[in-house]
Amino acid sequence: MPGIFLTYSKTAVSVGPPLRGTLTMYIHHINFVVENLDTAVGHFERILGQPVDCRDVLPGRGALAARFKLGPTWLVLVQPTDPDGVPGRHLAKHGEGFFLCSLGVDDLDATLDRLRETGVGLAGPTRRGVDNWRVQDLDPDVSLGEQFQITEEVAGRD
Could you tell me the CATH number of the domain that includes residue 93? Answer: 3.10.180.10
User: Considering the chain, what is the average pLDDT of its residues?
Assistant: 87
Position 24 scores a pLDDT of 79
Share of the chain above pLDDT 70, in %: 84
pLDDT at 18 over 90: no
Q: Which of 12-21, 83-92, 139-148 is least confident?
A: 12-21
What confidence tens digit (pLDDT) does each residue in 45-90 have? 999 999 999 999 999 899 999 999 999 999 999 999 999 999 999 9
Residue 82 lies in a domain: yes
Residue 125 lies in a domain: yes
Domain holding 64, by residue range, is 5-152
Residue 157 lies in a domain: no
**Residue partners of 77: CB distance under 8 A and separation at least 6:** 31, 32, 34, 37, 40, 41, 44, 65, 66, 67
pLDDT at 146 over 50: yes
Number of domain units in the chain: 1
Residue 158 lies in a domain: no
- 15: DSSP letter: E
